[in-house]
Amino acid sequence: MTDVQPPTAAPCSIGSGIDHDPHDTRLAPTATIDTRVAIIGGGFSGAAVAWHLLRQRPDLTGIVIIEPREEIGRGLAYSAADPAHRINVPATRMSLVPDQPWHFNDWLETSGALLADPAACSNGRNFPSRAVFGRYVTQALAEVSPRLRHIRSRATDIERVDGRYVLTTADGRRVRTDILVLAVAHAAPSAPRAVEAALGGHPRYVNNPCEPGSFDAIRPTDRVLIVGTGLTMADIVASLDARGHHGAILAISRRGLRSRGHPAALHDPAGDFLTAPSRTVRDLVRQVRAAVAEAVAAGKSWHCVFDQLRLQGSGIWRALPLAERSRLLRHLRPFWDVHRFRIAPQVEEVLDRRIAAGTLAIAPASLKAIRREGEAIQVELRQRRNGARTQESVDAVIVATGPAHGSVFASNPALAALEAHGMARPDPLRLGIDVTIDGEAIDAQGAAQPTLLVAGPLARGTIGELMGLPDVTNHAVRIAGAVAAQLDKVEDSNDVARRYASA
C-alpha cells in the first residue's frame, strides 16, 4: 500500500451524497437507491471497509452506508463524549492503516489534540480520549466522502429479489445493491431480569451506561453497586470519579476479575502457538503457562505472551474443535478478557487510587435478591469463595455486563429479517453471525453467500479474535478485498449477459 498522509485536522462532514436532514426534499423517503455496494453499520468496522474499498477501487462511486448516527466512523465506542473514556491501547497501535501503525499517533501529534489533553501521555505513550480517535476516523474518511452516500436511518428489512439485495430503512427508503456488507454493532447490554423488574423507573438505576446522561442523577456521595467488573466497569468508575463522585462503589462479578493494565516496558510478542496448535483447551492452557514462565525467566512480563496470542488468535481458534471452543468460552473467556483487553494507565490510576482510599471494592459475588425501598435499594449478595450471603444498601445500581451476544439477531431488525428469509443464521456458539473463514454469511441451508459479507466482531465465532481495534482493522481490509473481488465477478457476469442478449 502506498503511503497515506495523516488526515488534516479540518472538520468534515461525511455523507455528501444524501443530506443528513430527514426533512430533505431532494430525495423522497420512498425513493429507491441503486448501488453496487451497501454497508449496514457506519461504526468503525463499516467505515474501515468503505475506506479501504474505495482506495482499492478508485472507479467505484456511490457506496451507501446505512447508519443512524450523524457521523460515519465513530460508532458506539468512539462517539463517547466523556473525556475519561480513553482508548485502551497505545495510539501507536490504533491505526486505520495496518501497515502504518503510527498513522493515528502521527495525526495526534500534528492535529493539536494532545495540546488540549496533556494527560493523554503516560510513560511516553499516548492514550487520548475515544472521541479523539473517532474524530481521526471521520477526518480520514473526508478524502473519500464524495463517493459515499450516508443514509441516516436503520435498516429494518432485507430481501433477495432477482439476485440483488433490497433493503428497507426505518424512514421508508429502499436500497437495491449487488453486494451487501453487514457491519452491525453488538447487541445492547442485557440487564438481569430480576434487576430490571425491581428497579425499572428508579432515578438512579442505569441499565445502559453507554447512553448519554446515564450518570446525571447519581450524587457525589451515593453508594453505587456496579454489576460487572470488566472494561465497562472501569469506564464507569473513571466517569464517576471525574464528576466528583467520592461515595462507596462496589463492583461484583462471578469471579471478581478486573481488567489489567499495560506493562511498564514493551517487549515483542513472545511464544509460538501455531507450529503445533493445540486441539484442546487443556493443552492450550499448558502452552500459555509455559510461554509465560519462559518470558518471566527472560525478564519480560506476561503481556508479551498475550500479545502473541492475539496475533495468532485466529489460527489458534480455528485449530480447536467446536466443543473445545465452547469449553474455552465457558471457562476461560473471563480470564482472557481481563488480560487481553487492558485499561489505559490513566483509568488504572483511578481504580488503584479508589481501592487504596477504600471507596472502590471489587468482589467475586453474585446478586441473589434485590428490592426497592423508596429510593433506597436493598441487595443480597452471595460471596463466591465461601457462599456467605451479605446484605448491602445502595443508592444506585449500574449494569456493566457487556453486550448481549446471544440476542444479536432478535435485537436487530435487519438481522432478524435475514434470518427469517433464510439468508443468515447465528454461529453455533451464538457469538454473532455464522460466516466462512472469508467472511461470507452462511444461509439457513449451510451455503456460503459470496455477496453477503460480515465485517467486525460479529464474525468472531468463525474468525476468532475480533474485538480489539487492530484485529478489526485487519479484518476490514480483508473484507474490502473480498468485496472488490466480487465486484469484478459481478461485472464479468453482466458482460456475459449483455453479449448473449445482443447475439
Give the pLDDT score at 4: 55
Decide which of 340, 366, 382 is a domain's last residue.
340
Weakest-pLDDT range from 18-27, 33-42, 199-208, 341-350: 18-27
Calculate mean pLDDT across residues 289-294: 96
Give the pLDDT score at 22: 37
pLDDT band at 491 (very low <50, low <70, confident <90, very high): low
pLDDT band at 5 (very low <50, low <70, confident <90, very high): low
- φ and ψ at 456, to 5 degrees? 100, -170
Decide if 104 is inside a domain. Answer: yes
Tally of structural domains, the chain:
3
* 42 shares its domain with 137: yes
Give the pLDDT score at 53: 95
Decide if 25 is inside a domain. Answer: no
Decide if 272 is inside a domain. Answer: no
> What is the Cβ-side half-sphere exposure of residue 124, based on CA atoms within 13 angstroms?
4
* 354 shares its domain with 334: no
What is the model's pTM?
0.86
pLDDT digits (tens, 9 = 90+) for 74-86: 887 787 778 889 9
Decide if 16 is inside a domain. Answer: no
pLDDT at 331 over 50: yes
pLDDT at 10 over 50: no
Residue with cell 496533556: 118
The answer to whether 336 and 366 have CB atoms below 8 angstroms apart is no
* 351 shares its domain with 251: yes
Question: Which range marks the domain in which residue 391 is found?
Answer: 193-260+342-399
Give the pLDDT score at 502: 44
pLDDT digits (tens, 9 = 90+) for 84-94: 899 888 999 88
* 201 shares its domain with 346: yes
* 243 shares its domain with 311: no
Residue 21 class from Cβ within 10 Å (0-12 exposed, 13-18 middle, 19+ buried)? exposed
Higher pLDDT, 393 or 144: 393
pLDDT digits (tens, 9 = 90+) for 466-478: 677 888 899 999 9
Decide which of 369, 399, 429 is a domain's last residue.
399
pLDDT at 370 over 70: yes
pLDDT band at 406 (very low <50, low <70, confident <90, very high): low
Higher pLDDT, 419 or 81: 419
Give the pLDDT score at 488: 87
Which triple of cell numbers denotes residue 210? Answer: 453507554
Calculate mean pLDDT across residues 182-196: 82
pLDDT band at 57 (very low <50, low <70, confident <90, very high): very high
* 464 shares its domain with 442: yes
Calculate mean pLDDT across residues 244-264: 93
- φ and ψ at 245, to 5 degrees? -70, 135
The answer to whether 317 and 468 have CB atoms below 8 angstroms apart is no
The answer to whether 472 and 456 have CB atoms below 8 angstroms apart is yes
Mean pLDDT of the chain: 87
pLDDT digits (tens, 9 = 90+) for 422-463: 999 999 999 999 999 999 999 999 999 999 999 988 998 898
Decide which of 379, 399, 419 is a domain's last residue.
399
Give the pLDDT score at 465: 75
Calculate mean pLDDT across residues 270-296: 95
pLDDT at 409 over 50: yes
Q: What percent of the chain has pLDDT over 90?
A: 61
- Give the Å distances, CA to CA, from 415 to 37, 160, 433, 443: 18, 14, 9, 12
* 215 shares its domain with 352: yes
The answer to whether 425 and 440 have CB atoms below 8 angstroms apart is no
* 320 shares its domain with 348: no
DSSP assigned state of 213:
T
Give the pLDDT score at 9: 43
Give the pLDDT score at 410: 83
Decide if 334 is inside a domain. Answer: yes
Decide if 464 is inside a domain. Answer: yes
* 389-394 and 448-454 strand pairing: unpaired
* 444 shares its domain with 385: no
pLDDT at 176 over 90: yes
Which is nearest to 465 in space by CA: 346, 323, 311, 250? 311
* 411 shares its domain with 367: no
* 71 shares its domain with 100: yes
* 435 shares its domain with 370: no
Decide if 268 is inside a domain. Answer: no
CA 136/CA 129 separation, integer angstroms: 11
pLDDT digits (tens, 9 = 90+) for 138-152: 999 988 888 999 999
CATH number reported for the structural domain that contains residue 416 in this entry? 3.50.50.60
pLDDT at 362 over 70: yes
Decide if 465 is inside a domain. Answer: yes
pLDDT at 499 over 80: no
Calculate mean pLDDT across residues 491-497: 55
Which triple of cell numbers denotes residue 75? Answer: 460508532
Give the pLDDT score at 37: 96
E strands of 302-447, at which residues?
360-373, 376-383, 389-394, 396-399, 440-442
